[in-house]
C-alpha cells in the first residue's frame, strides 16, 4: 500500500468519532503511561523491600482480589451514580492509594493497601466502557473499543520502558509518578467529559404501586446468554494470562533467561501497537460470531504451539499467533457485551464482564503452577489448546441466533424522551453533583 493509501486508511480509522470519545481515549493513554505498580510490584517487594517471592505472590493475589470485588461494585455505581462520578471516584482513589502504598513498610500495611489499590484501579473500567457505548454509535463501537485497546497497550509499552529506568533511581518516584498521572486523568475527565448516562426509564404502575424499570445485578446474573459469554470470556482470558505466568516459567525451564522472556513477550506489545488499527479496519464490519470463534482457536492453538518451542525465535513466533487472537478478541468481545446489554444496565453488565478477566488473573497463576509442577509445561500448553477449542464451540452455540444488525440489549428498553444533558451526550452539560463528588471523594481510571 502506498503512503497516501496508508494515510487514507489511518484517517478513516480515526474519523467520525465523537469529541468526548477522544478525551476519554486520551485519559486512558495518560493513565497507562503512568502505570508502575502492576508492572514492578513483584520486583519492588523482593528486591527493594527484601520480602520473599511467596509474600510478593500473596500481595499480587490481594491486588487481583480487589479488582474482582470492585468490578461488581463499580458496575452498580456506574448505573446509579453515573459514568463520570464513578470514573472520578476511581481515579482519585487510585491516585491516593498508590501514593500511600509507596510509603508503606510493614508487610500487613503493604498487603492491605495493595488490596485497596486493586479495588480502585479496576473500578473505572465498567464506567469507561459504558460511557464509550453511550457516546459512540453502534456501527463505530468495535472501532472505538479497538482504538481504546490500542491506547492501553501503547501507554503500557512506553511506561514499561520508562518505569525500568525510574525503578533504578527510586521505586518511590515510580509510585508518586503513577499517582500524579492518575490525577491528570481525573482532571481530564472532570473538565472535558460530560455525563452520558441515559435518563431513567419511565415510571410504571404495577398492582397499584409505582415501580421503575431497573436493571439490577440479579437481572444480569439471570441473563443466561450473557453469563455464557462471561464464562467464555473467562476461558479466553485464562489462556491469555499464561503469557505472563506460564510462559516465563516454561522458558526458564528450557534454560532461557529473563531477558529472553522479555524479548519474546515484547513481540506482543509491538504487534498490538503496529497492527491494532489496520486489523480494526478489517474486522469492524464483520460477523462478531466468526471473529470470536476464530480468535479463540488462535489463542488456544497459539499457546498450544509453545509445547514445540525451544528457542527464543520459536517462542516469539508463538507469541505472534496468540497476539493476533488478542487483537481481534478484545474489541469484538467488548462490543458483544454492549450489544447484549440494555442501555440503562450497561454499567452492571460491563462490571460482571470485567470480573471475568479479574478472576482469570487470580486463577491463571494457580493453574499454571499446578500443571507445570505435576505434569510439565507441555500439558499446560495442551490444556490451552483444549480450552480454546471449548471456547470456540461455546461461542458457536451461544451466538447462533444472535441478529447481525440489531442490538438486542437495547431493542427492548425504550429510549427515554429527550432530556437535557442526558439523551444527547454531545450536548450534555457537566453534572454539578459529579463536581461535588469529585471534591469530596477519591478515584481512578483504566
CATH of the domain at 125: 1.20.1250.20
Q: CB within 8 A of 326, min separation 6: which ones?
A: 240, 268, 272, 295, 299
Indicate whether 410 pLDDT > 90: no
Q: Is 121 domain-assigned? A: yes
Cα 389 from Cα 391, distance rounded (Å): 5
Task: Say yes or no to pLDDT of 15 above 80.
Answer: no
Is 161 found in the same domain as 254?
A: no
Spatial separation of the C-alpha atoms in residues 27 and 39, rounded to whole Å: 19
Most confident of 186-195, 205-214, 225-234, 436-445: 225-234
Find out whether 396 and 289 touch, Cβ atoms under 8 Å. yes
**Residue 423 falls within a domain, yes or no?**
no
Listed in order, strand segments (DSSP E) in 241-309 are none
Q: Tell me the HSE value of 90 on the side-chain side, using a 13 A CA sphere.
A: 35
Identify the residue with better confidence: 354 or 409.
354
Q: 442 and 386 in one domain?
A: no
Task: Report if residue 332 sits inside a domain.
Answer: yes
341 pLDDT higher than 60: yes
For the segment 178-190, the average pLDDT, to the nearest whole number, is 89
Residues 190 and 310 in one domain: no
How far, rounded to the nearest angstrom, does the alpha carbon of residue 172 sit from its chain's CA centroid?
26
* pLDDT at site 292: 93
Residues 132 and 232 in one domain: no
pLDDT at residue 130 above 70?
yes
In a domain, 252, yes or no: yes
Residue 14 lies inside a defined structural domain of this protein: no
| Residues 118 and 86 occupy one common structural domain | yes
Confirm whether 202 is domain-assigned: no
Same domain? 275 vs 159:
no
Judge if 281 and 166 occupy the same domain: no
- What percent of the chain stands above pLDDT 90? 24
* Alpha-carbon distance values, 121 to 90, 114, 295, 352, 372 (Å): 7, 10, 28, 16, 31
Looking at residue 433, its pLDDT comes to: 37
Top-confidence range, 151-155, 283-287, 334-338: 334-338
What is the structure's pLDDT at 180?
A: 92
DSSP summary character for residue 388: H
Please provide residue 206's backbone torsions phi and psi, each rounded to the nearest 5 degrees: -125, 115
Q: How confident is the model at residue 430 (pLDDT cuts 50, 70, 90)?
A: very low
Q: Please say if the pLDDT value at position 441 is more than 50.
A: no
CA dist., res. 194 & res. 446, Å (int): 18
Please indicate, yes or no, if residue 142 is contained in any of the structural domains: yes
Residue 9: predicted pLDDT: 60
Q: Does the global pTM surpass 0.75?
A: no
Grid cell 465498567 in the structure block, residue: 126
The mean pLDDT value for 246-255 works out to 85
User: At residue 404, does pLDDT exceed 70?
Assistant: no
* pLDDT band, residue 357 (cuts 50/70/90): confident
Model confidence band, residue 302 (pLDDT cutoffs 50, 70, 90): very high
Average pLDDT value for the chain: 80
Q: Do 118 and 248 fall into the same domain?
A: no
Residues 317 and 406 in one domain: yes
Q: Per-residue pLDDT for 82 more than 70? A: yes
Would 162 be classed as within a structural domain?
Answer: yes
Quick one: pLDDT band at residue 402, thresholds 50, 70, 90? Answer: low
Q: What's the rounded Cα separation, in Å, for the pair 391 and 295?
A: 10
The residue segments making up the domain with residue 171 are 19-196+428-446
- Percent pLDDT > 70 in the chain is 82
Residue 399: predicted pLDDT: 79
Same domain (yes/no): 123, 242:
no
pLDDT at 205: 46
Q: What is the pLDDT of residue 3?
A: 58
Is the pLDDT at 367 greater than 50, yes or no?
yes
**Are 243 and 392 in a shared domain?**
yes
pLDDT higher for 223 or 433? 223
Cα separation, 60 vs 58, in Å, equals 5
| pLDDT over 60 at 126, yes or no | yes
**In this predicted model, which residue has the larger pLDDT, 181 or 407?**
181
Q: How far lies 37's CA from each of 55, 82, 242, in Å? A: 16, 28, 20
Whether 225 and 130 share a structural domain: no
Could you give the number of structural domains in the chain? 2
Which pLDDT belongs to residue 431?
A: 40
Amino acid at each position: 500500500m502506498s503512503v497516501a493509501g496508508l494515510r487514507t486508511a489511518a484517517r478513516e480509522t480515526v474519523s467520525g468519532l465523537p469529541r468526548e470519545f477522544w478525551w476519554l481515549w486520551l485519559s486512558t493513554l495518560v493513565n497507562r503511561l503512568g502505570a508502575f505498580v502492576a508492572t514492578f510490584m513483584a520486583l519492588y517487594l523482593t528486591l527493594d523491600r527484601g520480602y520473599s517471592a511467596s509474600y510478593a505472590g500473596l500481595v499480587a493475589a490481594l491486588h487481583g482480589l480487589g479488582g474482582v470485588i470492585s468490578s461488581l461494585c463499580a458496575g452498580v455505581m456506574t448505573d446509579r451514580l453515573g459514568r463520570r462520578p464513578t470514573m472520578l471516584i476511581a481515579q482519585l482513589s487510585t491516585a491516593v492509594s498508590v501514593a500511600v502504598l509507596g510509603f508503606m513498610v510493614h508487610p500487613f500495611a503493604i498487603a492491605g493497601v495493595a488490596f485497596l489499590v486493586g479495588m480502585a484501579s479496576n473500578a473505572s473500567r465498567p464506567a469507561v466502557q459504558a460511557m464509550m457505548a453511550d457516546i459512540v454509535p453502534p456501527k463505530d463501537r468495535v472501532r472505538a473499543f479497538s482504538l481504546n485497546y490500542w491506547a492501553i497497550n501503547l501507554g503500557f509499552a512506553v511506561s514499561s520502558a520508562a518505569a525500568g529506568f525510574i525503578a533504578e533511581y527510586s521505586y518511590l518516584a515510580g509510585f508518586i509518578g503513577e499517582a500524579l498521572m492518575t490525577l491528570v486523568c481525573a482532571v481530564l475527565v472532570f473538565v472535558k467529559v460530560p455525563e452520558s448516562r441515559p435518563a431513567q426509564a419511565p415510571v410504571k404502575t404495577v398492582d397499584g404501586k409505582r415501580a421503575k424499570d431497573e436493571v439490577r445485578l440479579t437481572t444480569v446474573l439471570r441473563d443466561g446468554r450473557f453469563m455464557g459469554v462471561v464464562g467464555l470470556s473467562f476461558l479466553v482470558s485464562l489462556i491469555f494470562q499464561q503469557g505472563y505466568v506460564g510462559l516465563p516459567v516454561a522458558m526458564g525451564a528450557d534454560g532461557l533467561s529473563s531477558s529472553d522472556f522479555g524479548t519474546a513477550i515484547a513481540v506482543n506489545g509491538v504487534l498490538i501497537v503496529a497492527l491494532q488499527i489496520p486489523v480494526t479496519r478489517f474486522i469492524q464490519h464483520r460477523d462478531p460470531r466468526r471473529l470470536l470463534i476464530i480468535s479463540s482457536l488462535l489463542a488456544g492453538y497459539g499457546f498450544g504451539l509453545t509445547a514445540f518451542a525451544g528457542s527464543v525465535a520459536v517462542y516469539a513466533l508463538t507469541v505472534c499467533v496468540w497476539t493476533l487472537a488478542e487483537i481481534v478478541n478484545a474489541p469484538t468481545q467488548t462490543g458483544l457485551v454492549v450489544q447484549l446489554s440494555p442501555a440503562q444496565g450497561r454499567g452492571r453488565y460491563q462490571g460482571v464482564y470485567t470480573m471475568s478477566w479479574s478472576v482469570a488473573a487470580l486463577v491463571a497463576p494457580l493453574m499454571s503452577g499446578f500443571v507445570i509442577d505435576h505434569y510439565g509445561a507441555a500439558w499446560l500448553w495442551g490444556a490451552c489448546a483444549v480450552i480454546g477449542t471449548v471456547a470456540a464451540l461455546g461461542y458457536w452455540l451461544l451466538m447462533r441466533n444472535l441478529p447481525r444488525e440489531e442490538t438486542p440489549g437495547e431493542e427492548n428498553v425504550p429510549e427515554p424522551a429527550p432530556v437535557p444533558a442526558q439523551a444527547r451526550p454531545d450536548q450534555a452539560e457537566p453534572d454539578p453533583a459529579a463536581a461535588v463528588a469529585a471534591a469530596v471523594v477519591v478515584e481512578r481510571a483504566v
